[in-house]
């Protein structure tokens, strides 16, 4: 596996392109005796979620990123 380089925004763009390649061309294919297997779609989606969270944490200060408040009124 290659080393990740770049900002989270750049990596997110690369991951989104990889997801698009898998969706458009399939997970793997063979031409003659050669075959290509792209990255696992589930792994790409997990990477995308992580990078989106990193970007959101940067916007919110990171203290309680991805934290929500719910108010429940009495019944």
Backbone phi, psi, residue 32, to 5°: 65, -125
Specify the pLDDT at position 3: 58
Averaged pLDDT, 11-25: 92
Within 10 A of 14 (CB to CB), how many other CB atoms are there?
A: 15
Segment holding 36, helix H or strand E: strand 34-37
What is the distance between the alpha carbons of residues 69 and 9, in angstroms, rounded to a whole number? 27
Phi, psi at 12, each rounded to 5°: -60, -40
- Return all residues near 62 (Cβ < 8 A) that are at least 6 apart: none
Instruction: Give per-residue pLDDT as tens, 19-63.
Output: 998 999 888 889 999 998 888 999 999 999 999 988 887 765 555
Residue 75: the pLDDT is: 66
């Amino acid at each position: 596996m290659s080393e990740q380089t770049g900002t989270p925004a750049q990596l997110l763009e690369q991951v989104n392109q990889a997801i698009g390649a898998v969706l458009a061309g399939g997970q793997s294919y063979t031409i003659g005796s050669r075959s290509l297997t792209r990255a696992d779609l589930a792994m790409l989606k997990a990477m995308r979620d992580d990078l989106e969270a990193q970007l959101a944490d940067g916007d919110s200060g990171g203290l309680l990123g991805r934290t929500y408040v719910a108010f429940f009124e009495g019944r």
